Homo-oligomer: A and B are copies of this chain.
Amino acid sequence: MLTQEENELLTRIGPGTSMGNLMRQYWLPALLSSELPEPDCPPIRVRLLGEDLVAFRDTQGQVGLLGANCPHRGAPLFFGRNEERGLRCIYHGWKFDVSGRCVAMPNVPAESDYKEKLRATAYPCAENSGVIWGYMGPLDPPPELPRLEWAALPLEHKLITKQYLECNYAQALEGDLDPSHISFLHAPLDPRGRADYQGSAGIPMSDRNLSDAALEPTVKAQDKDPLIVLLNTDYGMFVGARRDADPGRYYWRFTQLVMPFYVFVPGAVDSPLHCNAWAPIDDEHTMVWRIQYLTSRPFTEQEVARLQSGLGAHVPPDGYLPATSAPSGAWVPSANRGNDYLTDRQVQRAVSFSGIRGIWAQDRACTEGMGSIMDRTNEHLGPSDVSVIQMRRLLLAAARALQEHGAVPPGLEVTPPIMPSPTVFLPKSLTWEEISGEYASGKAKTHSSS
């Protein structure tokens, strides 16, 4: 339970807010590279941390991220002409390059120096293997890109999908730091039964260990109250969730919170690695990025097809509703809040715990249903919520430390690539220190357990 003041601090991320200032210290995922497919292609709208922006790819392929409105008289740059190394406002032809410099002002006498005095709002961008990142913070030059393992991998090794979420980022992020809910929300009624309502967990990879994979659903179904152990690390937090598997082994699922809003979420044994990013659009909307990847080899065509099927995490664009003017394009899935996520009460009765098809929609039903910004003054956290509690503490502490004495935010200077941990069956004899020493990337800080 938070005070109203703490809840405001945690959830408000617009310009000038403490949490907004914290988020602005980090690079943020802004766009898929494919949304700006080629030099001089049409610009698109972006909304990030409560700011309206427009993104364009210039003649040399560089991406610019400008304030949505022309600094001259406020006309929308979205309608601008993207031509010859700059975006040109259609109102009076003023043209800005990716750095925000005004490079043409054709309705002003050539001898005027007015052009030099003007700067459009422009945020540095970087592009890395399919993702366009934006930096809205004060450092010049900006810090290095986040050292997330998947970020540098070739495109063929990964699948990336976005969804537009109609609620605050924090309640969505909390869902990822919650090891016990998979035994309920994402569970089939019969652990040996149909997996087709369970999303990607049920998608066989060609190199899975079949006997362990077969054991997994039963373990999740039988041990609904995992032991949760935490480790504070230099990048954020490492969470272990331990379930009883068989006489000699525990079933371990690891989750890593990478500040400020990345989560390496555990998949099934030998399934693709998985990272979520919960990038705030504004206080009441979030763009969730879901990245699944393989480090050792590209996905096969068959694997891509499965992950993009109705059950996977990467439903292709035609599963989305049209939304011409939506911020950041049309990323509202067809099962959404307006149609109760197409909940099927018969399926809920006979097949799956939730009656909702697919992990994304199951999570959305819970988190969007909490309201635009969840009221945390009236919740009742139990022993299973230790990692949610710790996540809030980390974010609140980092925001306060930055505001009060300019502390460097956690994770900003972590240099080794941060990588997810596999889901594994391990001998019961191993200690948490041994396990976290092996599986938590980054440096340990403090331990605690539920």
Contacts and interface: CB of A to CB of B under 8 A. Distances in A.
A92 B175 CA distance: 11
Interface string A101-122: 0000111110010100010000
B381 A72 contact: yes
Most buried by B among A92, A356, A383: A92
A337 B374 CA distance: 32
Given A79-B354, A356-B79, A382 B74 contact: no
B72 A380 contact: yes
A90 B355 CA distance: 9
A242 to B, nearest CB: 13
Interface in A122-163: none
Contact of A338 (B71, B76, B324, B370): B324
Interface residues of A, number: 65
A369 B184 contact: no
Tell me the interface secondary structure of chain A in the complex.
Answer: loop
A84 interface: no
7 contacts: A69-B371, A74-B375, A92-B181, A106-B183, A106-B184, A108-B383, A325-B337
Contact of A381 (B42, B73, B91, B374): B73
A106 B225 contact: yes
Contacts of A107: 180-181, 183-184, 224-225, 382, 384
Contacts of A412: none
Contacts of A324: 338-340
Number of copies: 3
A177 to B, nearest CB: 11
Contacts of A362: 90
A225 B367 CA distance: 54
Interface in A327-342: 337-341
A343 B79 contact: yes
A73 B365 CA distance: 13
A385 interface: yes
A112 B79 CA distance: 60
A410 to B, nearest CB: 25
B106 A224 contact: yes
Contacts of A73: 174, 370, 379, 381, 385, 388
A308 interface: no
Interface in A163-183: 171, 174, 180-181, 183
A345 B76 contact: no
Nearest to A91: B366
B353 A90 contact: yes
A77 to B, nearest CB: 9
Interface string A376-393: 101111111100100000
B383 A114 contact: yes
A225 B109 contact: yes
Given A79-B343, A112-B382, 9 more contacts: A73-B379, A75-B370, A76-B370, A78-B340, A90-B185, A92-B185, A107-B225, A107-B384, A109-B225
A74 B370 contact: yes
A81 interface: yes
Interface in A379-411: 379-385, 388
Nearest to A369: B76
A339 B79 CA distance: 12
B369 A118 contact: no
Given A81-B348, A107-B224, A374 B74 contact: yes
A261 to B, nearest CB: 18
The 6 closest A-B pairs by CB, nearest first: A76-B369, A107-B180, A74-B370, A75-B366, A93-B184, A42-B345
Given A184-B91, A224-B107, A225-B107, A369 B75 contact: yes
Interface string A56-96: 00000000000001011111101101000000001111000
A105 B381 CA distance: 12
Contacts of A375: 74
Contact of A371 (B74, B81, B112): B74
